[in-house]
Amino acid sequence: MTDQLFPRQPRRLKQPTKDLLRQHLASITEENIRLRAEVERLRSTWWRRLINRVRRAPKDIA
């Protein structure tokens, strides 16, 4: 038995600060955007990916 007359309540976990939650939400949002772009790229056909890569390549006008 314990020496305490009234046992102490179990400690509750503290919530994270709003700044930490905002930072976590921002990182999750960036990850979501990146993954959506990757899925969109993988869903496109091979020839469309090739055309887009050629269009994005820097052009030498020398």
Q: Do residues 57 and 50 touch, judged by C-beta distance below 8 A?
A: no
Predicted pLDDT at 1 = 58
- Asked if residue 12 belongs to a domain, the reply is no
- Asked if residue 6 belongs to a domain, the reply is no
- Asked if residue 8 belongs to a domain, the reply is no
Range of the domain at 27: 18-55
Predicted pLDDT at 22 = 98
Number of domains in the chain: 1
- Asked if residue 23 belongs to a domain, the reply is yes
Give pLDDT tens digits along the chain (62 positions). 567 788 888 888 888 999 999 999 999 999 999 999 999 888 888 888 888 888 888 777 65
- Asked if residue 4 belongs to a domain, the reply is no
Global pTM exceeds 0.85: no
